[in-house]
Structure 1
Amino acid sequence: MKALVEKMVKALVERPDDVQVNEKVNGEQLLVEVRVHESDIGKVIGKGGRTAKAIRSVVYAASMKEQKRVRVDIVD
């Protein structure tokens, strides 16, 4: 899941070298934390949160194979 999120986010931002994606397992849930440069945060969230919602939708669909809940957080 980490590689999928990282590839999507790096395609959106101007500073792909500053993208950090971390995975944490919390019981039955997988938490994916995304950190980007402060100037790129708006590109990852998108207008009205549309881009972030789209990223979460793709990750949700991809996680159906693993049968594990996945949560994606965009961290400041």
Structure 2
Amino acid sequence: MLELVELIAKELVTKPEEVQVSSRQEGNTFVIEIRANKDDLGRIIGKEGRIAKAIRTVVKASAIKDGIKVAVDILQ
């Protein structure tokens, strides 16, 4: 799942080498964190958060298949 999020995020930004995707566990939920150059955050979030919502939808659909809970955070 991390590879999927990283691939999507790197395709959206102008500086893909600065994209970092990591995960941590919080209770029974895996939290995937996306970090990118602050100039590229708008590209990942999208207009009115539409791209971020789409990323979360894809990740959650993949997680349901595996039977786990996942959250996606976009950080500076």
Same fold, judged at TM 0.5 (above): yes
Q: Equivalent residue for 2:54?
A: 54
Q: Secondary structure at the match of 1:21?
A: strand
Structure-2-length-normalised TM-score: 0.96
Q: Aligned letter for 2:26?
A: N
Gaps of 5+ in 1: none
Following superposition, the deviation at residue 8 of structure 1 comes to 0.4
Once the two structures are superposed, what CA deviation does each residue of 1:27-66 show, in whole Å capped at 9, x if it has no partner?
Answer: 2100000000011000000000000000000001111121
Cα distance in 2 for partners of 1:65, 1:26 equals: 20
> What CA RMSD, in Å, does the superposition of the two structures yield over aligned residues?
0.6
SS where residue 39 of structure 1 aligns?
Answer: coil
Structure 2 matches for 1:16-35, cutoff 5 A?
16-35=16-35
> Which amino acid in 2 is paired with 1:20?
Q
Normalised TM-score (structure 1): 0.96
User: Which residue of structure 2 aligns with residue 45 of structure 1?
Assistant: 45
Q: Give the partner amino acid of 1:17.
A: E
Structure 2 unmatched runs, 5+ = none
Report how many aligned residue pairs link the two structures. Answer: 76
